[in-house]
Structure 1
Amino acid sequence: MPPDASSLAPVHRSDRAAAASDATDPVPHNGQFALLRERRFAPFFWTQFAGAANDNLFKFAFTVMVTYQLQLSWMPPAMAGLAIGALFILPFLLFSATAGQLADKYDKTRLMRRVKDLEIAVMALAAWGFLRADAAVLLGCVFLMGLHSALFGPVKFAYLPQVLDERELTGGNGMVEMGTFVAILLGQVAGGLLVALPRVGHGAVAVACVLLALAGRVVAQGIPRSAATDPGLVVNGNPFVETWRNLALARRDVVVFRSLLGISWMWFFGAVFLGQFPSFAKDVLHGDERVASLLLVLFSVGVGTGALLCEVLGRRQVEIGLVPLGAIGMSVFAIDLYV
């Protein structure tokens, strides 16, 4: 989910200080959890938390529904997780670069609120799809929720450097990463449990999706203003050309390009595992929806713990040495799971 290359340019200290001053004057660093008491951070944190939870509640409920409840000749249960995951990721490939330009051109707070408005509309359509058990409608909503997340991603990456100082940034990023995976955990567990409720499961998922979308929009109203970094930017209407241009730009900087590859590989690795949990629980472990949810709990707790440890192990600095250790751990335990 790489941000637009233009948003990878460093934010000048004066710009960051001005933006932080607009929200709330920075306080001495008292630990990353102290940021949750700051208006410049807390509404943003809970907005992205609600969005991530809703994404995953919706996707996992749909995946479980197809795997355990529906019999679709055109989408076998073993392929459901991969198909839904691929459809969700497709908008990132198509629109991330353009979304990065939008994040540079417009007030980030206003943009986040408009994205939350889109989420409400998509979840209303998804609620109708769940009530009718209409897989085609829900697949369309998967793509639209992927678009929602693709638009929100660059804004999320660009917002924090504007409102946090350098000593807060690693902790802030760790909090967002931890929050994202806790939201994934809660959303997927809730989705799996709600859709499995006898008779009322589909309706319960429909209501939960709409309520989470509304909650995210309400919280987003409290995010402080975040000025546009390049209001004169001309947005390229061709996402394919813009994506290629950004990749070419990133390749000029070895550190940036390798960072993009590393982040992309990490998300690819995680998406493959997450997409296969329902099928793995059913066909290999011979378990029900609760077993699939348990696998998600263990996975997400591990990721959240690792995200929080980054600040401690990195001593509040961006520590590149943690990356190969994490990659080795992922590889070793993936092999162990296979064996």
Structure 2
Amino acid sequence: MNTHLMMSRRFAPLFWTQFLSAFNDNFLKNTLVFLILFTLAKDQAASLVTLAGAVFMAPFLLLSALGGEIADRFDKALIARRLKFTEIAAAAVAVVGIALSSIPVLMTALLMFGIISALFGPIKYGILPDHLERKELPKANAWIESATFAAILGGTIAGGVVSADGIGVAVFGPIMMALAVGCWLVSRYIPATGSAAPNLTIDWNILRSTWRQVADLRTDTRIWRAGLMTSWFWLVGAIVLSILPAMIKDSLGGNEIAVTAYLA
């Protein structure tokens, strides 16, 4: 059974939902980076590129605990479908932003994608024990992580390639919308899970729920250290991805393809 995870409905729809979603996130983020660097706001490029990274990452800090409570309270597959349906609207906002060459509109779309991804995060991991045997979990986690990083790489390269000859809505729009709609369609095949904690009262105060989650993590030294290492990994990655594009363009004189190559 382990060798057929990617052929099984218990896992394959979740894998492709995560892959397409992460690809779309990074395709948008890097298209926005190139729009800032080479077309608009060249004099403010470094600060705006950093802001784009912060806009996308902030929801993960603030909403992950809330996302975990929602994942426990409701059917995870149902929430995944609704989030991915909402992602279609976020993609449409991004297309409008490209059509208008509007950084504020594109930042709004990026924030929407960040919120959806932050709420989906606890689902994509929490749902695995609902559908898989215990012995299958390590391999399934590895596949999910590989999907994430392959999609980050692919979205980054696609954003650079699409931007190389100027960013046009005629190319960007169909790609963005096709990815979003495809992601939603695939998510509809994720099997239902039922509610893990139907009586759970969701704390909508995101600061309080986040603080409580961190406090709970600190009670288990092993999990706390793992959390710190994971957080450090993503922090370093976010900083490098924010600094690198402007550095390649301004210090080395690189064009869109050069920036894409360094990011890759």
Q: Report the TM-score, using the length of structure 1 for normalisation.
A: 0.75
- Correspondence 1:1-339 to 2 at 5 A: 27=1, 29-30=2-3, 34-71=4-41, 76-198=44-166, 201-297=168-264
**Contact preservation (8 Å) 1:195, 1:204:** no
Aligned to 1:8: none
**Contact preservation (8 Å) 2:72, 2:196:** yes
Distance 1:70 1:133 in 2: 8
* Matched AA of 1:295: Y
Q: Any unmatched runs of 5+ in structure 1? A: 1-26, 298-339
Please say which of residues 188-197 and 131-140 is displaced more in the overlay.
188-197
Deviation at 1:72, TM superposition (A): 5.7
Which structure's CA Rg is the greater one? 1
**Contact preservation (8 Å) 2:99, 2:168:** no
Deviation at 1:205, TM superposition (A): 1.6
C-alpha distance after superposition, 1:222-262 (max 9, x if no partner): 11112221111010121111111111111111112111111
Distance 2:174 2:103 in 1: 18
Query: 4+ residue stretches of structure 1 with deviation over 4 A?
Result: none
* Matched AA of 2:188: Q
Distance 1:94 1:286 in 2: 37
Deviation at 1:57, TM superposition (A): 0.2
Distance 2:241 2:132 in 1: 32
* Matched AA of 1:187: G
Please say which of residues 158-167 and 266-275 is displaced more in the overlay.
158-167
Task: Give the aligned length.
Answer: 264
* Matched AA of 2:97: G
Identify the structure with the greater helix proportion. 2
Aligned Cα RMSD in Å? Answer: 1.5
Deviation at 1:46, TM superposition (A): 0.3
Distance 2:195 2:233 in 1: 30
* Matched AA of 2:102: D
**Contact preservation (8 Å) 1:60, 1:188:** yes
Larger RCO of the pair (alpha carbons < 8 Å, separation 6+): 2
* Matched AA of 2:88: I
* Matched AA of 1:158: G
C-alpha distance after superposition, 1:256-283 (max 9, x if no partner): 2111111111111111122233223212
C-alpha distance after superposition, 1:91-145 (max 9, x if no partner): 1122111111000001000000011011101110110010000111111111111
Taking every aligned residue pair, what percent have the same amino acid on both sides? Answer: 37
Distance 1:270 1:152 in 2: 20
Distance 2:74 2:18 in 1: 18
SS at match of 2:127: helix
* Matched AA of 1:97: A
Q: Report the TM-score, using the length of structure 2 for normalisation.
A: 0.95
